Structure 1
Amino acid sequence: MTNHDPHVQELLTLKIIAETLNQSNDLTLMLGTVLEKLLELTGLQAGWIFLTDRRMNYERVADRGLPPGLLHDNKAPMCSGTCWCLDRFWDNRLNNAVNILNCKRLEDAVSRGWGDTQGITHHATVPLRSGDRKFGVLNVASPFKTHFSNEELALLQAVAFQIGSAVDRMRLYAAERRRAELFARLGDYSRSLGMAVSAGTEPGRLSELALRLVGEHFEWPFAALLETTGDELILQAVHAQGRTTLPYARLPLQAANWLREAARARRPAVATPEQASELAGRRELRGLAPARLSIAQAVPIPLAGLAPGSMLVIGNDAMGRAEEPVDNEVLEALAEHIAMAFESARLEEHRRELARLAERNRLARDLHDSVCQMLFSLSMTAKGVESLLKGSQPDAALQSVGDMQALSQSALKEMRALIMQLRPAGLEAGLVTALQVYGEKLKLRVHAEVTDVCELPRHVEEALWRIGQEALNNVSKHAGTADAMVSLRIEARQAVLKIADQGRGIAKKKRPAEGAPSFGMATMRERAEALGGRFALASVYRGGTTVEAAIPLPANE
């Protein structure tokens, strides 16, 4: 180092280094530029920087002025093996700038004939740190230099603190940016999973769907849903290598103690690199997991809709890079979204079961109020005919037989109407056709209009059929007109059904109070909203009524 105005030179060096550290957010570029400036200002010839997060896992992120012996085979001596400076760093014995260390890499270059070291045999080593966090080492050297003064070491120590603080700042920035990106992906994931649940995905397929969507929205090479039962782990679903499978393989819980501890304590856990590698190499996961994992994490899934002990496990391979695990808050939020999806699917299944029970009760009431009453009247009339025939009153008996025939026809008509509600005849020919037929049964003239209609999913078609059926019933009962218009169109990935009439409309004083809709209208709205759709009713007194229901279609329709 130069001896002219040493204090001024030191301040100038620190000033230039600080300015350089603030010029880029690219860590590798920034470290290379800073190292070059440091050598230029101090008059040293060679320098290199290692970043490391654990023993034997390090990366040479910058170097300048290396002698030919260290440039051998595309700088192979700088990328593999160990050395005394890193060993001391990993053993927590390197806390300050060290005056001189013999360099094992330089000695290997000489002993193995890799090339000239240009008189460089020693180097100074300084730990890179920020507070209690350590990131790696800075090494500097010059030919035939075997001693650094205390002033030189103090300057190198100050520069190393600046570099360590910059590394810390940039890593925190990168972590926050990555965290924000993961939460944005989580929002997209939640929407996709919610739409699938609303579209009626069966709970039995939800594990596969949840993992497939994890693979689509995140870049993790491995993800799995596990369930702990006794002393075993059951693999419910696995996503790896671009495909999702349902292996239901069993893994001894003792084979992964960190997973057992996560399941017992019900809190997130991070595997050591050795544990992650062992998990990937398990025989039970052969063909299901990547051949190599260096990072693995587990997060418990809340109990809603899932068995106790369920967990989400993700894995990654850093490929030698220093990479932090995924933020626990992101994983816990992801697990909560998965739990909510299972709970929503369970509640949806219960809602459908209640709807089926309500439908059965309604049909039972209709049967009792119409068909059963008519059959009872038919039975009583038949007894009366028997008495009339015994009493030799043929004319009265014939009249009663006519009444019996009328009652049986009415009962048959009512029964057909109820059967139509259960399984509409002609639905295979299309929704609009079925509604036309149903309207004709109600003595309505139904005018149909169809626009850009494709084959609808069964659950969407059935919901629109029920809504249209109720709307036509209302036209028949209340509109005071025999004309109705039915239209079906596809727009913006949704099926839109509209039933309209030009009848008397709904008088304002007869409209249901807000928040207390009529049973029929509430049923139509519930059917639409249960599938993620919307329902609207518009009525003008003496100007007609329009009912519109829109239900989203799955992406593959």
Structure 2
Amino acid sequence: MNDDPRVQELITLKTIAETLNQSNDLRLMLNIVLVKLLELTGLSAGWIFLVDDEMSYECVADHDLPHGLLYRDKQPMRCETCWCLDRYRSCKLQNAVNILTCKRLMNVKEYGWGDTAGFTHHATVPLYSGSRRFGVMNVASPGKVHFSGEELALLEAVAYQLGSAVERMRLYEAEQSRADQYARLGEFSRELGTAGSMEHSAAALPELAVSLIGSHFHWAFAALFERDGFEFVLKAVSVEGQLANRAARHLLPEDHWLFEAARGDRYVTATPEQAADLADHLELHGLQKKLSSAMAAPVRVVGADIQGILVVGHSASASHADGGVLGALAEHIAIVLESARMEENRREWTRLEERNRLARDLHDSVSQMLFSLSMTAKGVEGQLRGSHTEEALESVKDIQLLSQNAQREMRALIMQLRPTGLEAGLTSALLAYGKGLKLRVRTRATGSRELPRNVEEALWRIGQEALNNVFKHAGTSEACLVVQLDEDKAVLRISDAGRGIAKKQLIQTNRRSLGLTTMKERAEALGGSLAITSGYRKGTSIEVAIPIPMPVPAASAITGGD
């Protein structure tokens, strides 16, 4: 074996480099490297402290410690501080140095914790990677009180390798954590998006969103505040994955740190004191001491006013990846809330349009019949006074007929307001409706599947209007009803063999008929189409086709859950 010290140094550095590339487990790698280093340098014992940004330290690797340092599960390596860490924290430890005496070994002797096996001194080496600091490495041997310049230089070279490896592994862990976080974000987005499209009200979505955050992310708590005028009101909060009760109406004070998030476009990070203060404000008892930090992000659609604030608490230090995920969560919640509100507005407009249409129908049909009824009644009064008994009887018959027609029209309009009977299926409901109009309806149905509620209701409304047209205008009491359910669309066809409409008149009817216009609008609102075929004395056929959206898979099927 070559005894040249330079060769031995190169062998040591090469062996350490090869060892560093064998594992992505930080603790395992540091322990293996420490053993190799001690073996190659002839030293007996060593330990490595990693120090975080808050200057808290942890002994993550050690080898062949004397019995006294192993006292009570290595208590001397966990408690208090020491001169090498004090110098590290004060940025006075820049290079490998000789520590004359070790305070931890002195404590072992002072408190009688055990034997020190002749260890009194050690060398201390800072672990760096560029401008980033990670901790210190200590190595020692019994009776060794001084390390030469060559030994310290070798230890520094090894420490640089360790620092680079720690940096690489930290980056790897951060990327793994980021990938995991964004996978969870994808699952959250799919579930919230699915729920948002299933007619959940905007008022119910905050609790749903916070509940999903609690179940998908390992954060200490999550809370959502919604804007109410110039204030922000707590709408939902979850603690360790479970929704918490909101007994009080929690408002944010005007000087609260969360308003910084409300004024910006990205997330903000709180101090541990601010995080604990927020937990206290929300009455999340027991969390104050567990929180290390908190982050908040504005809930807003791009270019729009702020809708709320999403805030989460961490029991460990928050990372930049957490902030990116939080911002994406807030953006997605904003989109779903905005979509839910727009859908509610659309439904309200639809209800208003329906009321207006019914008002027009009442004016066009029932009001005209009632006016005719009123005028006929006045005529009967005059005829009775003039003793025109026969004419009066005929007028009374007209009054009866008009009143019956008015009642029928009113029932039809009430039926449109309240679509009962659909629980038996679209075909059965339209058949019953046709019978109510004294029509003989022949039916045929092909295909079997459950229709989305909006598609079924649209076909029901269109079918009602079509059967009404047969009753009023076709001059026949028979109609044919066909319901065809394909994989991608639903088709409804209603036809009669009545008087029909001439081609020129059909064009004018399509332009002027309020009923036909409404039927067409209903179909087109769902991406469908409506076609009318008719000819003089050749009957009329109305066909509507509406696409059926593909069913959304359940969340467990998407995410691979049980």
- TM above 0.5: yes
How many residue pairs match? The answer is 526
Q: Which residue is 1:221 aligned to?
A: 220
- Report the counterpart of residue 151 of structure 1 in structure 2: 150
The aligned residue for residue 329 of structure 1 is 324
Amino acid at match of 1:340: I
| Aligned counterpart, 1:361 | 356
One of 426, 442, 454 as aligned partner of 1:445: 442
The range that moved more, 31-40 or 443-452, is: 443-452
Q: Is the 8 A contact 1:536 1:549 kept in 2?
A: no
Residue by residue over 1:36-84, the C-alpha shift from the partner in whole angstroms, topping out at 9 and shown as x without a partner, is 1111111111111111213452222111111111111121221232222
Residue 400 of structure 1 corresponds to which residue in structure 2? 395
Unaligned runs of 5+ in 2: 497-502, 511-515, 535-539, 556-562
Task: Specify whether residues 539 and 11 from structure 1 end up closer, same or farther in structure 2 by C-alpha distance, changes over 3 A only.
Answer: farther
How far apart, in 2, do the equivalents of 1:187 and 1:242 lie? Answer: 18
Q: Are 1:78 and 2:64 an aligned pair?
A: no
Q: Is the 8 A contact 2:427 2:443 kept in 1?
A: no
Answer yes or no: is the 8 Å Cα contact 1:240–1:288 preserved in 2.
Answer: no
Closer, same or farther: CA 424–303 of 1 in aligned 2, 3 Å: closer
Q: Counterparts of 2:431 and 2:383 in 1: how far apart (Å)?
A: 45
- The aligned residue for residue 374 of structure 1 is 369
- 1:296 match: secondary structure: strand
Contact map agreement 2:214 2:240 (CA 8 A) in 1: no
Counterpart amino acid of residue 327 in structure 2:
E
Match of 2:189 in 1: 190
Letter in structure 1 aligned against 2:480 = D
Give 1:465's aligned residue. Answer: 457
Matched position secondary structure for 2:114: coil
Separation (CA, whole Å) in 2 of partners of 1:272 and 1:306: 29
> Match for residue 66 of structure 1?
65
8 A contact 1:222–1:241 mirrored in 2 = yes
User: Match for 2:329: what amino acid?
Assistant: L
**Matching of residues 175-214 of structure 1 within 5 Å:** 175-214=174-213
The residue matched to 2:339 in structure 1 has which SS? helix
Deviation at 1:338, TM superposition (A): 1.2
**What amino acid maps onto 2:152 in structure 1?**
L
User: 2: distance between equivalents of 1:14 and 1:103?
Assistant: 27
Structure 1 position 356, deviation (Å): 0.8
C-alpha distance in 2 between matches for 1:388 and 1:229: 68
> How big is the shift at 1:465?
2.8
481, 485, 493: which one aligns with 1:484: 481
Q: Structure 1 residues 361 and 109 mapped into 2: Cα distance closer, same or farther (>3 Å)?
A: same
- CA displacement, residues 424-445 of structure 1 (integer Å, 9 cap, x when unaligned): 3445667665444224335323
User: Residues 228-243 of structure 1 correspond to what in structure 2 (within 5 A)?
Assistant: 234-243=233-242
The alpha carbon displacement at 1:536 in A equals 8.4
Shift of 1:100: 2.4
Q: Which moved more, 1:135-144 or 1:243-252?
A: 243-252
Q: Which moved more, 1:127-136 or 1:187-196?
A: 187-196
C-alpha spacing 1:113/1:363, structure 2 compared with 1 (3 Å):
same
Q: Does 1:250 align with 2:275?
A: no
C-alpha spacing 1:333/1:450, structure 2 compared with 1 (3 Å) = same
Cα distance change, pair 258–198 in 1 and its aligned pair in 2 (3 A): same
SS state at 1:32 partner: helix
Q: Which residue of 2 aligns with 1:532?
A: none
CA 1:258–1:47: 2 relative to 1, 3 Å? farther
1:417 aligns with 2:406: no
Q: Which stretch shifts more, 212-221 or 308-317?
A: 308-317
Q: Greater shift after overlay, 426-435 or 465-474?
A: 426-435
1:416–1:352 distance in 2 versus 1, CA, 3 Å: same
Q: Which amino acid aligns with 2:159?
A: A
Tell me which residue corresponds to 1:10. 9
- Give CA-to-partner distance per residue, 1:87-126, whole Å, 9 cap, x none: 2222222222123252221111121111111111111111
- 1: CA distance, partners of 2:390 / 2:351: 48
Change (3 A) 1:363 1:407: same
Where do residues 429-444 of structure 1 align in structure 2 (5 Å cutoff)? Answer: 433-441=428-436, 443=439, 444=441
Change in 2 beyond 3 A, CA 1:45/1:338 = same
Deviations 1:441-480 (A, max 9, x none): 3532345799687xx9xxx647623433324644775999
Report SS of the residue matched to 2:203. helix
- The residue aligned with 2:46 is 47
1-structure distance, mates of 2:166, 2:10? 21
Residue of structure 1 in register with 2:172 after alignment: 173
Secondary structure of 1:365's aligned partner: helix
What residue identity is the alignment partner of 2:401? Answer: A
Q: Which has the higher mean CA deviation after the structures are superposed, 73-82 or 141-150?
A: 73-82
In structure 1, how many angstroms separate the alpha carbons of the residues matched to 2:20 and 2:229?
54
For the 8 Å contact 2:188–2:216, the answer to whether it is kept is yes
Amino acid at match of 1:468: W
Question: Does 2:382 correspond to 1:387?
Answer: yes
Secondary structure at the aligned position of 2:123 is classed as strand
Determine what percentage of the aligned residue pairs are the same residue.
53
Query: How far is 1:297 from its partner?
Result: 1.3
Gaps of 5+ in 1: 530-534
Q: Secondary structure at the match of 1:327?
A: helix
How much does 1:336 deviate?
A: 0.8
CA distance in 2, matches of 1:352, 1:156: 73
Distance 1:555 1:276, change over 3 A: same
Per-residue CA deviations over 1:518-557 (Å, capped at 9, x if unaligned) read: 753542453x68xxxxx6889999999574564758969x
Distance change (3 Å), C-alpha of 1:68 and 1:317: same
Pair 1:96–1:522, CA change in 2 (3 A): farther
2:83 matches 1:91: no
Give me the whole-angstrom Cα distance separating, in 2, the residues matched to 1:65 and 1:269: 45
